[in-house]
A = this chain, B = another copy of it.
Amino acid sequence: MEYQFSDRVKALKPSAIREILKNSSAPGIIPLSAGNPAPDAFPYEAIRKVSAQLLEDTPIEALQYGVTEGYAPLREHLLGYMKKKHQVGTENDDILITSGAQQVMDLLTKTLLNEGDTVLCEAPSFIGSLNTFRSYRAKLVGIPMEEDGMDMACLEKALETEKNVKYLYTIPNFQNPSGITMSFEKRKKVYELCQKHGVMILEDNPYGDLRFAGEDVPSIKSLDTEGIVMYAGSFSKVVSPGMRVGYAIGPRAVLQKMVVCKQGEDVHSNMWAQIVCHRFMTGFDYEAHLQNLRDIYSRKSAVLLSAMEEHFRPLITWSHFEGGLFAWCTLPEGTDMLGFVKRAMERKACVVPGTAFLTDETEPCRSFRINFSTPTDEQLREGVKILGETAKAM
C-alpha cells in the first residue's frame, strides 16, 4: 500500500544533524551530546522506599485510572510549593500534571495554534520544543540571544510586524542550548511587550533548580497579573526523566482546554510516578535533595570549565553559565562548524552542532553544545581535549 501522510507529517524534513548524530549512542562514544541527568543525581533510595510503600498502602490509586488533571495531592502540593517558593500561580491559575514538560509545549500549541500561526522563540532554542511547534505547522520566528537574554529590539519588532503571533517561547534559566539566564530587567520587558501585544508567554523552566552560581532571578510568571503566562515545570531534571512527570501552571481558561486535549492524547499521566513525586516532595528533605543536585552539577561544570580552559583557549570560546546542564561553545570565524563536529565525532567526541537549535537549520552558525551532566569526569576531560585538538587541526 502507498501510504498518504498528513501535510503536517510530510512537512517534517529529514535533518542533516540527525545524520551526524545517528551513531551517538555507539559503544566508545564520549556522550557530550546528551541531556540526561547524571546517574548519581537520582534519589534511588527514596524512590525505592516510597514506591514500595505506595504499592502497599494505596495500590488501587496507583494502578487504577486517574483523572486527566492529575493526582490531586500532587497538584495541591505543587501549587502551594510553587506559590510559596517561586511566587508562581495566581487565583486565576490552575495546575495540570503532564507526561513530562514536553507535553505542556504540545498541549498549549494544540490549544492556541492554527496552521501557519506564529511562535516567537529564542534563537537558538531547545530542538525538542521547536519540533513540537513544527508538528502543528507553526511559523517559527527566532529572536537572537544576547548575554542576558533575547535582543529586546528584535523582540519588539517581531511583535509589531509578525502576524498571528500566539505565544513567545522562552527558557529563562540556563537556557538549552545557550546556558544563558535572562536578566530580571529583560523578564520585565518581555512581560510588558507581550502583554501590550496580547501575546501569551510559554515559560519553560526545567533547569531553574540547578543553579550553582549567582543569584536566583524571579520567574516571568511571578510578574503575571494579567494571566498571559503559562509556566512549564518538570521533575525530569530534579527527580527522574524516565517517570515523565511535568506540569503546567497557568490561566484556568486555557488549562481547561489543555485538559480536553490531554484526554484525547493519553487520558492521564502514569499514576505511580505522580504519587512517587508527591511522596518524595513531602516525605523527604526536598530542599536538601536539590542542594545535592546543585553540588553534583557544580562539581561537574568545574571539571568542564577547567578542561575548556586548558584545551580550548584561545580558539574556542564559551558563554557564561551559572547552572543547568549545558555549555555553548563557539569556533573562530571562518571555521566549518559542521565539518568540525564530524571530525570530532570520528574521534568519538560527540557534541550537538548549533544549527540543530535554530528555527532554520541552514543558517550560518559557528557554535556547538556540550552537555556536562551525562559524561563521567574522565569522559569530559577526554572529550574536551579531542574537541580542542580538532579545532587546532582545522
Question: Are the CB atoms of B251 and A1 closer together than 8 Å?
Answer: yes
Question: Are the CB atoms of B114 and A7 closer together than 8 Å?
Answer: yes
Contact of A103 (CB < 8 Å), options: B3, B254, B266 = B266
In the complex, chain B residues whose CB is within 8 Å of the CB of A243: 63, 270-272
**Stretch of A47-55, A72-80, A311-319, A359-367 that contacts chain B:** A47-55
Contact of A242 (CB < 8 Å), options: B236, B253, B271 = B271
Assembly CA distance A268 to B241 (angstroms): 10
**Stretch of A105-113, A153-161, A205-213, A347-355 that contacts chain B:** A105-113
Assembly CA distance A3 to B166 (angstroms): 10
Name the residue on B nearest A10 (C-beta).
B257
Question: Are the CB atoms of A242 and B55 closer together than 8 Å?
Answer: no
Given contacts A166-B4, A264-B131, contact A55 B48 (CB under 8 A): yes
Given contacts A260-B9, A273-B272, contact A240 B112 (CB under 8 A): no
In the complex, chain B residues whose CB is within 8 Å of the CB of A267: 100, 102, 128, 241, 244
Contact of A261 (CB < 8 Å), options: B62, B111, B135, B227 = B135
Assembly CA distance A271 to B128 (angstroms): 19
Contact of A60 (CB < 8 Å), options: B42, B99, B271 = B42
Assembly CA distance A114 to B271 (angstroms): 33
Assembly CA distance A117 to B56 (angstroms): 48
Assembly CA distance A64 to B373 (angstroms): 12
Within 8 A of B (CB), among A126-182: 128, 131-132, 134-135, 166
Assembly CA distance A306 to B300 (angstroms): 68
Name the residue on B nearest A267 (C-beta).
B102
In the complex, chain B residues whose CB is within 8 Å of the CB of A61: 242
Question: Are the CB atoms of B65 and A42 closer together than 8 Å?
Answer: no
Count how many chain A residues have C-beta atoms less than 8 Å from C-beta atoms of the other chain: 78
A86 at the interface (CB under 8 A from B): no
Question: Are the CB atoms of A241 and B111 closer together than 8 Å?
Answer: no
In the complex, chain B residues whose CB is within 8 Å of the CB of A114: 6-8
Contact of A264 (CB < 8 Å), options: B132, B227, B264, B271 = B132
Question: Are the CB atoms of B48 and A52 closer together than 8 Å?
Answer: yes
A269 at the interface (CB under 8 A from B): yes
In the complex, chain B residues whose CB is within 8 Å of the CB of A82: none
Question: Are the CB atoms of B6 and A240 closer together than 8 Å?
Answer: no
In the complex, chain B residues whose CB is within 8 Å of the CB of A271: 242-243
A291 at the interface (CB under 8 A from B): no
Given contacts A51-B51, A103-B266, A266-B99, contact A111 B5 (CB under 8 A): yes
Q: List 12 A-B contacts (CB under 8 A).
A: A1-B200, A3-B254, A4-B112, A4-B166, A6-B110, A6-B112, A9-B260, A47-B55, A52-B52, A64-B242, A242-B270, A243-B271
Additional pairs, 6, CB under 8 Å, beyond known A44-B55, A100-B267, A269-B270 = A4-B112, A7-B114, A8-B114, A9-B111, A42-B63, A110-B135
